[in-house]
Amino acid sequence: MYNLARPGTIEVIAGVMFSGKSEELLRRVRRALIARRRVQVFKSHLDERYGGIYRVSSHSGIEFEALPVDSAAEIMRQTRSDTELVAIDEAQFLNSEIVEVVGALAGRGIRVIVAGTDTDFRGEPFGYMGTLMAIAEQVDKLSAICVVCGDLACRNQRLVDGKPARYDSPTIQVGGSEAYEARCRRCHRVPRADEDQTALL
């Protein structure tokens, strides 16, 4: 049954990699479990960085697994009718339907928490995170620490074979090693084709 008495809400936790989005998401989930809310956690499984599924465990020993999903429609299909909180991690990888799905879930009275990286390695908007931030009741934008200078980091630095990735480098890297760092605006490097790549490696 949909609970029409209770208004749903959308909360977005945005920011760069390493800014603590997953930690904050899990903190909110843990507190909801303490409040005995019925919770479901989803995670885009296009994110393979940490080897897939994570678990959320409650103090009472109940373990929560994040359900891996590859589309927003799957979140809609898998959300049970009695669920009170839906948490979605790595939402930047989900297709445009995520906007509609999140709105529909909140419309049913569900508290929806969406976490994701809101800018890509170029510093440009990532997926539908910006739209989700616009339709949310609450937005928290977290920062990491720049690994070069120690200031607050608001950018994802992509490195391919230890060098800053070019603006037009393919999103999926074939061969070569790829890594990401948190950096501030000043230390962030995205060379264009004709630029020197040696500075701030």
Select from 10, 14, 17, 41 the one that contacts ligand ADP (CB under 6 A): 17
Residue 22 found at the interface with ligand ADP (CB under 6 A)? yes
Select from 145, 152, 159, 160 the one that contacts ligand ADP (CB under 6 A): 145
Residue 147 found at the interface with ligand ADP (CB under 6 A)? yes
d(CA 61, CA 90): 25
Select from 8, 19, 39, 187 the one that contacts ligand ADP (CB under 6 A): 19
Q: Which does 167 bind (CB under 5 to 8 A by kind): ligand ADP, Zn ion, none?
A: none
d(CA 188, CA 146): 9
Sole window of 11-19, 65-73, 131-139, 167-175 interacting with ligand ADP (rule: CB under 6 A): 11-19
Q: Which of 11, 84, 90, 181 is catalytic?
A: 90
Q: Give the CA-trace dihedral at 130, 131, 135, 141, to 10 degrees.
A: -10
Q: How far is the CB of 145 from Zn ion (least distance, A)?
A: 9
List, in sequence order, every residue forming a beta bridge with 179; answer none if it has no partner.
159
Considering the complex, state which of residue 94 and residue 165 has its C-beta at the smaller distance from Zn ion. Answer: 165
Residue 182 found at the interface with ligand ADP (CB under 6 A)? yes
Angstrom distances, CA of residue 85 to CA of 57, 102, 141, 192, 197 = 15, 11, 21, 43, 46
Pairing of strands 155-160, 152-153: unpaired
CA-wise closest residue to 69 among 106, 94, 102, 38: 94
Q: How far is the CB of 177 from ligand ADP (least distance, A)?
A: 18
Interface residues toward Zn ion, by CB under 5 A: 146, 148-149, 151, 184, 187
90 is catalytic: yes
Sole window of 53-61, 65-73, 97-105, 143-151 interacting with ligand ADP (rule: CB under 6 A): 143-151
d(CA 54, CA 68): 9
| Paired tokens of 96 | 């445009």
The secondary structure element, H or E, covering residue 24 is: helix 21-34
Considering the complex, state which of residue 84 and residue 153 has its C-beta at the smaller distance from ligand ADP. Answer: 153
d(CA 48, CA 130): 23
Interface contacts to ligand ADP, rule CB under 6 A? 15, 17-23, 144-145, 147, 182
Residues assigned a catalytic role: 90
